[in-house]
Chain A
């Protein structure tokens, strides 16, 4: 009954399993572990003893149970049918698992990422005799209404087309056969830890529009750029990630819920199908893929989930899409890495994290970028990466935050004191920065409106001056300040509320077009100038009546995408009136 050549479990400790003899397996090869058929990955080899990290709950796994290598490494099947799906960290659709296994997740369940029975109407663009190589377009299928999924020659494949199928095909029927007999399907498998190849990496001068004023205006990110969003708990990381997933200008959104809350995922899963994509009007789910591995799901699968999400994003980038990848949160991924490393008894680095933390993070961030895709026809794709980071105690000096700051191109630092003031997004405009600023400004000047850069500079100066004065006021009391300085305090507060704060729950202002962003900043500054002129002319600050102008600006801010342009002129008049009346008031004044 017992074949002595079959590998057996020698030890189970946490998520790790030691098994022997496994003389032939390779690193990162997958194996089926135990009677429950759990999935494990080989992460260390010593002689014929292999250490595997198991992607599922190991409770109940016993020594002596069999371990069978599969000859494959951790892969995902890529093809039509991914959009709108909700996958766990290993690529199993969670709704399918619910259908087969009920409300709670069992260990060892199997479910295919793509439905093998579903038929897709394949429209070929190649004919027999054509020479094709990696990345070349073979044809398309309509994956979701209005979205043409490009079927490409998989990386590393080339040949001459022998036969071409068309019409309804499953992913198991060859779409194209090459001269050497190689069948090409609508789908192919890819190892998630391996970056997908591109022809060339391109520059980053096109902004990735978030619809959030503070990001687009102050700390823009380029398409293909990377952002780190560090913030302690309650500072609103998840709300930012979700707002971006809803409103950002991208063709495809991949959202990784990595070690986060189940109820939050339930919120996303119930809300997204109801929401309309602002660009197409169709369900937001049509452009979204969710990878969900909540904090209580197995920790090794959490480690894998970020690579899975990245591979999905790269796959759509290769089709020429502009993809945004949201990872919430990379700290949970790093903790999974630490947990596994500790169980391997590796020499720890800072705070117990393995010494390869920074290099792994660096490699991960580098998979983002704007690229010229492999193959014909020529196309560019972009993969923008937005990563939330959860520093313990909100302390940014900890290793994960620091490692991310070194590689990310932009940092949106969240500040608990702003969150306590209920100022959202709680982005600290002093510690945040963007290295994409200079390169994206020409686009904003061109598309957002002239004066974008000048307004931005003035706003930053005013905020800075406001913060300095606030510190002084805290010492001497606000009444001890000059009128001129008190006005700066007031204006800084107004601009914070007008431009920087934005309610993610507002029906009309959750996303702000660049034109509205600029109008708000410009008019807010103009109001400051008008009031400053009046105070400079000797008018006491108490006697300035700014209420009307403020109301007009608040109404502009709260107006929806169709309504705001109509309110600009009125707000301008209200601001001019302040200047006019104040000047008139001085002339006829006391």
Chain B
């Protein structure tokens, strides 16, 4: 990359968000571009195809009224960078880093390239520390672990953002270590933005948060930058400032739509449902920025939210996400309809790193069999519910009837929970209470030793001190 700025008078074509330049020299892929036109604010863009014969610039701002012939295009000689640093905490910025809170633009402690660099897998530290989210269906059944990327699979109209907000408010580091939240709003509506901001301000979460808000009214193309801005800032806070950073990104579906829009504008060969064939790789460059590094104190945990179009989990967006992330939290329309909050369906939900974060010294020794037992009974109850729909409840065997009743209680008393969150010991206690209501022979996943220890505990339902 040259490092020198060069200005071309007049571009040779434009289509959608793209601008075409003929006969350019020394243009670099990813080079940052400014486009000026008399009487219009400066626009910014990025080189997405660098060629001597033709260069393609992706314009980040609205291209309405952009006349290529009258525009001056400056190739800056720099790649896209973000200002990063601890001073960003408490700020609200646009998806491309402009202040939205009326304060001056952040200068930052450093400027970092937006794309980052992949972590060396040999330097990664295996995630193993429990994060308490205050949500029973997560803490108990699908435990979130530091350095994990655990998406929420939502559907249109389901309260995914409320769940994210609750997690942000309630999340606790096990030993009260320094903790920060980076929120990337991607194409979210003004209503959602306002609701989120108000909740954040009221709970005080804003003071430890950095917000990057790309709203639905902002140019589509900025959606591609917003998560990278947020992650570049988060990486700095995590690995240079030693904070434990939780990155919430909503909504990844809007991000993928933007990716498809640009691919189509470039006349690329479409893959499944019109999404570009490289969507997996592209999403991986976002999600894989979660993790921990050896000999560095901080961590970067991701909680991306995506909306499954038509609640279809096989749609390319949830499908490719599921292949990259370490599990998923799936929201259920059925539970939501019945007024259960958070409407987490624990059966298709999964935390792949759960085993690394639970057990003796982390949560409690019997966490795994306890969760397996709840899961098995609930799964049996759901199966019985299906069967009851066909043969009627009276047609069920005695064990199936018990499982069915258990499933009802599990949903109403364990999954559903009051505002403010449950501590882990409350979550465990709630689960035990449900299990105690069942005959011993139904509890096949609990060994006699665990059952006996629970029945006559020295200190019942209490989490062991960690460390």
Contacts and interface: CB of A to CB of B under 8 A. Distances in A.
Summarize B's interface: helix, strand, loop or mixed: mixed
Given A13-B51, A103-B293, A265-B124, A63 B27 contact: yes
Contacts, number: 221
B34 interface: no
Interface string B418-452: 00000000000000000000000000000000000
Contacts of A390: 323
Given A105-B119, A296-B288, 9 more contacts: A62-B26, A63-B27, A63-B51, A94-B120, A234-B327, A263-B124, A335-B278, A335-B280, A393-B315
Contacts of B395: 477, 479-480
A450 interface: no
Contact of B30 (A59, A97, A476): A59
A516 interface: no
Summarize A's interface: helix, strand, loop or mixed: mixed
B127 interface: yes
A417 B316 CA distance: 20
Contact of B277 (A10, A86, A292, A335): A335
A104 B116 contact: yes
A394 B133 CA distance: 30
22 contacts: A11-B51, A11-B53, A13-B49, A58-B29, A60-B1, A60-B28, A65-B26, A104-B118, A107-B117, A234-B328, A257-B121, A262-B119, A263-B124, A265-B121, A265-B124, A342-B278, A352-B271, A393-B314, A420-B347, A477-B387, A477-B397, A479-B397
B277 A267 contact: no
A63 B117 CA distance: 22
Given A10-B51, A10-B52, A63-B26, A339 B281 contact: yes
A105 B117 contact: yes
A348 B271 CA distance: 10
A63 B319 contact: no
A544 interface: no
A95 B271 contact: no
A422 interface: yes
Given A393-B314, A478-B397, A352 B350 contact: no
B126 A267 contact: yes
Given A105-B118, A342-B268, A296 B322 contact: no
B50 A11 contact: yes
Q: How many A residues are at the interface, by size bracket?
A: 35 or more
B453 interface: no
Nearest to A345: B269
Contacts of A65: 26
Given A59-B29, A342-B277, A261 B50 contact: no
B124 A262 contact: yes
Contact of A476 (B119, B391, B400): B391
A353 to B, nearest CB: 8
Interface residues of B, number: 81
Given A263-B147, A476-B391, A392 B122 contact: no
Q: Which 8 A-B pairs have the closest CB atoms?
A: A393-B314, A295-B284, A11-B51, A62-B28, A296-B288, A266-B124, A94-B122, A59-B30
A271 B324 CA distance: 21
Interface in B1-42: 1-2, 24-31
Interface in A256-308: 257, 259, 261-267, 269-271, 292, 294-297, 299
B460 interface: no
A292 B348 CA distance: 29
B204 to A, nearest CB: 31
B397 A352 contact: no
A102 B348 CA distance: 38
Nearest to A95: B122
Contacts of B270: 352
A295 B288 contact: yes
B268 A294 contact: no
A97 B118 CA distance: 12
A62 B278 CA distance: 22
Given A61-B29, A62-B27, A11 B280 contact: no
B239 interface: yes
Which of A102, A104, A390 has its CB near the most chain B CB atoms (within 10 A)? A104
B115 interface: yes
A438 interface: no
Interface in B284-301: 284-285, 288-291, 293-294, 296
Contacts of B289: 296
A351 B148 CA distance: 31
Contacts of A561: none
A474 B29 CA distance: 59
Contacts of A233: 319, 322-323
Interface in B400-423: 400
Contacts of A265: 121, 124
B24 A63 contact: yes
B272 A392 contact: yes
Contact of B284 (A234, A259, A395, A474): A259
A149 B170 CA distance: 56
